[in-house]
Chains A and B, each alone.
Chain A
Amino acid sequence: MDTVRQNVNLTETKNNLKKQQRRLLMRKFLSNKPAVTGLSIMLFLIILSTVGAWLVQYSPLEMDPTSRLEGPSAEHVLGTDNFGRDLLSRVIYGSQVSLIVGFSVALITSVCGMIIGLYASYYKRLDNILMRICDGLMSFPAILLAIAIMAALGPSINNVILALSIVYTPHIARVVRSSGIVVRKQTYIEAIESQGASSTRVIWKRMAPNTLSPLIVQSTFIFANAIIIEAALSFLGAGVPAPQPSWGNILYDGKLVIFNAWWMTVFPGICIILSTLGLNLAGDGLRDIIDPNS
């Protein structure tokens, strides 16, 4: 009876401790200005891309030859493009593309990179092979590898996500591996292994949680880079194909009419800067919260 009561008390203290830790982390987060600013900007863009799309009165694909290249007005808040399409609607639908691409790439690279990084840090022999492949892939300048893969696969949103995931998975794998190796060397891992814990248990129950914080920081930066490279690929005509709007291909159209329509360059440009600025701020802030020494 007594042992049961003790156990209950123990779990209660554990839960309380966890709650306290969470509260402390929350306070640390709220007092970190860059992190709060960055995440607010991202929240704003997410709302814009969902609620905004619902509110705009024009379709992003609806052409109106009578109102080509009109400047910002009450009717078309951000003006129209060279096909007479409403720019506000195109920028908002374009934000969906950018956010979906950025988020998917961050998610896919986190999952794949985590698996590769953890197993590489656990099995030495696997480590050698996997890390040489990662080194090889990382020695390509990111955008160049993305261009190469897109050239082979052809332009489409799914291919952009696939290409960028291939480009950035090694970056996550490297980060996870290096923190995995630190955990692997701890004595308590040796202890639970000698008690017969399986490799799967050690990897997923003990090592994985300890690699999460650097992984989150890294994936924030990958989110930002994915948005930039998607825009660059679409701008070059190797990313999201027309007529579907993306910030990059709106800029491409904008370049053709740069003498007559500044709004086609400035507005999607502001959106790109906002999103990458938001993510970079968030990444810097999170890094400071997690590792105050950096």
Chain B
Amino acid sequence: MKEYVLKRILSLIPILFIVSLVVFFIIHITPGDPAYVMLGDTATEEQVEELRGQLGLDRPIYEQYFIWIGGIVTGNLGYSYFMDMSVTTALLEHLSPTAALALLAEILAICIGIPFGILAAKKKGSYLDQSLMGFSLLGISIPSFLLALLLILLISVQLQWLPVAGYAPISEGIGMHLKYLILPAISLGVMQAALIARMTRSSMLDVLNENYIKTALSKGAKNRSIVYKHALRNAFLPILTVIGQTFGVLVTGAAVVETVFNIPGLGQLIINSIERRDYSTIQGVILFITFSYVIINLLIDLIYGIIDPRVRLSQK
């Protein structure tokens, strides 16, 4: 197990290196001088020079990269001149709404996706299966920001059940928090629920065809215990992968849905930073989200190794 963990962690190094290179070069593919673009047309020559110095743009490019990456290793993501604070502080301020939204959406997606997938697999070919899979195809085809707009139109504008937009931190009470967060979470969670349901169904069907299930059946095991005790446990690996992948999608999807509902999260931070051409913040936030995504996937891989010995043994 130790060997497996070490191997997986080492395999991250080239990936993280390439991710950091891409994020670093984003500021350098901008047409024109970034310092000039950031300051706008009204800037004087001296102001541009000063900002170039502060951003380190007057140094050779490899030196700039090492200074930047050195900062990141010590937790310093750079400085935002627009907000007059460090990018790390800005990021932490905007993190909790995004995290809360992504988490609630993931919970919804799992609670809807897995039971629906199991149900569809148990009744394979029936009308129930067909309609569940039809819904899930529809769910995959509606982008979350569009579903958000349609839900606002129906539930907030027509029925006036929930607020159109806004955010209440959890300190204002859990009811208030959920009241603002439930529509965004549904908009975000539906596509993931659909993906999880599809994966659960196909993975369950694979396992239900295995010989050991037939053995269990012939030994007189109850249907219920076969589905939940034997099949689900073995069908769980692919489902777990999808959950891991969806989490990354959720964090970024949250960024888009946030702008629909005016939630002050990471998404709003990125979008505002794009409008202000605040490159240090864009780089910092993108690097942070991508690193968390990579690490979540690593954790999922490690959980694999724990629940399924075949995985860790095949890696040797």
Contacts and interface: CB of A to CB of B under 8 A. Distances in A.
Which of A142, A251, A255 is packed against the most chain B CB atoms within 10 Å?
A255
Q: Is the interface of A mostly helix, strand, loop or mixed?
A: helix
A284 interface: yes
Interface range for B: 35 or more
Interface in A243-294: 251, 254-255, 258-259, 262, 265-266, 269, 272-273, 276-277, 280-281, 284
16 contacts: A136-B15, A136-B17, A139-B293, A143-B253, A143-B255, A144-B255, A148-B286, A149-B29, A232-B143, A232-B145, A236-B259, A254-B149, A269-B146, A272-B142, A276-B143, A280-B140
B260 A255 contact: yes
Contacts of A224: 141
A276 B145 CA distance: 14
A133 B18 contact: yes
Nearest to B249: A141
Which of B153, B253, B275, B297 is packed against the most chain A CB atoms within 10 Å?
B153
Which of A139, A235, A259, A266 is packed against the most chain B CB atoms within 10 Å?
A139
A279 B31 CA distance: 35
Interface stretch (B20-28, B81-89, B179-187, B225-233): B20-28
Interface residues of A, number: 44
A236 B14 contact: no
A143 B149 contact: no
B274 interface: yes
B252 A143 contact: yes
B26 A280 contact: no
A265 B150 contact: yes
Interface of B: 14-15, 17-19, 21-23, 26-27, 29-31, 137-138, 140-143, 145-146, 149-150, 152-153, 157, 164, 248-249, 251-253, 255-256, 259-260, 270-271, 273-275, 277, 279, 282, 286, 289-290, 293-294, 297
Contact of B248 (A133, A141, A236, A272): A141
A145 B21 CA distance: 13
Nearest to B286: A148
A153 B31 contact: yes
A126 interface: no
